[in-house]
Structure 1
Amino acid sequence: MTISLRNRRAGAAATATALALASLAALAGTATPASASGRATTAGPATTTASAPESTAALKPASPAASASPASGDPAAPSALTLPRPTGPYATGRDTLFLTDHERTDPWVPTAGARRLLVSLHYPARPAVRAAVSAGRAADFSFLLDRLTGPRPAWRHARTIDARRVGMAGHSIGGNAAASTMAADRRVDAGVNMDGTFFDPVAAHGLDKRPFLMLGTDPGHAPGAGDTSWDEGWARLDGFKRWLTVRDSGHFTFTDTPAIGEQLGIVDPDAPLSAARSTAVTRAYVTAFFDRSLRGRPARLLEGPTPAHPEVLFQRP
């Protein structure tokens, strides 16, 4: 089961800008990456896990000519397209709106009916806003559990869910939401934060000794690095816990982006870890963590470094 949520609006004071990324992608001869998501499946009674990833940011799409070696001595040979990084003291949030203009028919496909627009809005996201987003997603997940495991479930296969074993994994702010949900809802037994800042801090009293995995970039999410919320969160986690970082990884390493981007010719020079290794590492460690936490199975992979995954570092602050 996968949850894919968008950021909420920051308010009227937020500055919004609509970006026509599809046009840029068309000029480059590539497609923009879609939102990343993950899926966990089990046999027998279903162990409920959820993933709430952050929307995929635009990486650096390579033009068709950039994938080949440039002609010798040709100074005008094309290279990967780049955009300047956003400026200002705040992180950049994004909302997506699906709007319908009922006064116009679609000018390109009149038989489709009213004109519809999909708009991305970017705005300065203050930490307090991000904390509210994380708490909001926690409420969303609790509502989902109510609708899936309550007396009148919304899903026809709800009986396959084992409500006694529920885990939540999330990427970016979705990872923060995993901790927020566990703090607010005792039904969630284990959580995973994949490279997400704890804008909504881990509860001061911990998570009632429930297990939690922090899986992030190296060195960006190593102890004492730029994101001090991980150091603070680690100190508050009071159950089984692991802090793992991955060499040569980027923020979107733990999503579907590397696999999809590789097929589209999209490269991220800041994350040289291959799509195959990105997928293998994420699958292996998240699966091992949930097998141990929800099924009670041995997880030797979580005991320490292994030659099979040399990129993964065990942090013990």
Structure 2
Amino acid sequence: MALDKPRRPALVAAVAGVLALTASLAWTPAAAAAPGTPYLPKPTGPHRVGTTSLHLTDAARPDPWVPAVRTRELMVSLWYPTAAQAGRRAPYVTPKESELLLKGSGIKELETIPPDGLSRTRTNALEDAEPSGRRRGLPLVVLSPGFTWPRSSLTGLAEDLASRGFVVAGIDHTYENFATTFPDGRIATCAACANVDDDDFGQRVIRSRAIDTRFVLDRLTGSRPAWKGGALIDPARIAMAGQSIGGAAVPETMLRDARVRAGINMDGSLFLPIPDGGLARPFMLMGAPSNDGTWRRDWERLTGWRRWLVVKGALHPSFTDYDMLLQQLGVDLGSGLKETRSLDLTRRYVAAFVDLHLRGRPQPLLNKPSKRHPEVLFCAPPAENC
């Protein structure tokens, strides 16, 4: 379920990059893009989507992976509703980020992709568009990506949530992926990759990400927010979702920060156990078929509203853009979810969860299996089919 060792996360990251290229083929409107141009499926909500990036610096904290760097620098992408009618679509990644992602993957099948291939991916969000909404009217969802993967790996989900009226903050956890580009052109690579064989590596990543997330929330919802649309965010309605180790970081973040009212772990092993005292806020586990014992270990420690969903046919990258995109590029990882199905399911169930817990809207989809989504199993120990 999770990428426990360096080669596995790197492999999926590379796959992710490749996937991004494919994204364009999944959405069929003729005007969407020229043939062969990768693009992400159109968001399903009623709002147009804007996006922007923030460079945040925590001067009170040295970098956990490069101690010589005395401040923790983060890049954050925001996706949000906009009334803008036109504008430039945001890039998926830069050409150099694309090159580093593909090179870092170590996957031979990806060598046929041009180094800048991922940077050609067509997205749906308008770059630096004016945010729209009423003061404190928009719930916030924080996204944390898998190890070695950038914040862009969850763009398809982020755009969809923004189109449904959420602000979404995707965090690049610096030095934990193959490429984070800062506004002055500096590129931070994966310094943390040198530590993956340490016994406590997973726990270190999780604790660091919890601190990163708390800092980002402070900067977005404080009295002087770092984003011009910060006043639109409702600080009483915040959720967090993450993929792989980003998902494993969600419970720790919730335990450290009561502002995060609800959380989702998408296919991440829980390297840091939930304490015996439990986690009483809403939580959803959503992943590929697996025998991951950490989910069974911590299931009873989820003492609030809870769901355990297993998606038949899914792979680890199925909860990012990458399963879909790689298929479009002709790379077969063995996924049972064809065309856009992996992203469709992720979008649908994540949206239902945050609509229920941040907006109080009933979601029958989360109460029982759905005939429209037969791949999704409702599980709880000791269910044998999960």
Smaller-chain TM-score bracket: 0.5 to 0.7
In structure 1, the residue matched to 2:113 is 30
- Is the Cα–Cα contact under 8 Å of residues 166 and 189 in structure 1 kept in the other structure? yes
Residues 68-87 of structure 1 correspond to what in structure 2 (within 5 A)?
A: none
Shift of 1:265: 2.3
- Is the Cα–Cα contact under 8 Å of residues 262 and 281 in structure 2 kept in the other structure? yes
In structure 1, the residue matched to 2:330 is 265
State percent identity of aligned pairs: 38
Q: Secondary structure at the match of 1:266?
A: coil
Shift of 1:306: 0.9
In structure 2, the residue matched to 1:285 is 349
Which one of 229, 243, 256 corresponds to residue 157 of structure 1?
229
The count of aligned residue pairs is 252
Provide the C-alpha distance between the structure 1 equivalents of 2:140 and 2:267, rounded to a whole number of angstroms.
Answer: 21
Shift of 1:249: 0.6
Matched, 1:168 2:265: no
- Aligned CA distance change for structure 1 residues 173 and 27 (closer, same or farther; 3 Å): closer
- Is the Cα–Cα contact under 8 Å of residues 147 and 177 in structure 2 kept in the other structure? no
Provide the C-alpha distance between the structure 2 equivalents of 1:206 and 1:214, rounded to a whole number of angstroms.
Answer: 15
- Is the Cα–Cα contact under 8 Å of residues 195 and 201 in structure 2 kept in the other structure? no
Shift of 1:202: 1.5
- Name the amino acid aligned to 1:180: E
Q: Secondary structure at the match of 1:291?
A: helix
Which one of 215, 234, 240 corresponds to residue 305 of structure 2?
240
Q: Secondary structure at the match of 2:264?
A: strand
In structure 2, the residue matched to 1:305 is 369
- Is the Cα–Cα contact under 8 Å of residues 254 and 282 in structure 1 kept in the other structure? yes
1:85-127 CA deviation, whole Å, 9 max, x = no partner?
A: xxxxxxxx9654779xxxxxxxxxxxxxx99896785654345
Query: What's the RMSD between the two structures over aligned residues?
Result: 4.0
Q: Secondary structure at the match of 1:273?
A: coil
Provide the C-alpha distance between the structure 2 equivalents of 1:170 and 1:116, rounded to a whole number of angstroms.
Answer: 23
- Name the amino acid aligned to 2:346: T
Provide the C-alpha distance between the structure 1 equivalents of 2:227 and 2:369, rounded to a whole number of angstroms.
Answer: 40
- Aligned CA distance change for structure 1 residues 262 and 19 (closer, same or farther; 3 Å): closer
In structure 1, the residue matched to 2:140 is 48
In structure 1, the residue matched to 2:91 is none
* Structure 1 portions without partners, runs of 5+: 12-17, 58-92, 100-113
Provide the C-alpha distance between the structure 2 equivalents of 1:39 and 1:291, rounded to a whole number of angstroms.
Answer: 22
- Is the Cα–Cα contact under 8 Å of residues 139 and 237 in structure 2 kept in the other structure? yes
- Name the amino acid aligned to 2:353: F
Q: Say which structure, 1 or 2, has more relative contact order (CA 8 Å, 6+ apart).
A: 2
The structure with the larger Rg is 1
Which one of 269, 272, 285 corresponds to residue 214 of structure 1?
285
Q: Secondary structure at the match of 2:210?
A: helix
In structure 1, the residue matched to 2:263 is 191
Matched, 1:141 2:213: yes
- Aligned CA distance change for structure 1 residues 240 and 304 (closer, same or farther; 3 Å): same
Shift of 1:21: 4.6
Q: Secondary structure at the match of 2:336?
A: coil
Q: Secondary structure at the match of 2:248?
A: helix
1:242-282 CA deviation, whole Å, 9 max, x = no partner?
A: 0000111100100010232233222212x231241101110
Shift of 1:56: 6.1
* Structure 2 portions without partners, runs of 5+: 1-50, 55-62, 68-100, 126-130, 150-174, 382-386
1:141-176 CA deviation, whole Å, 9 max, x = no partner?
A: 111111111111111100110000000000000001
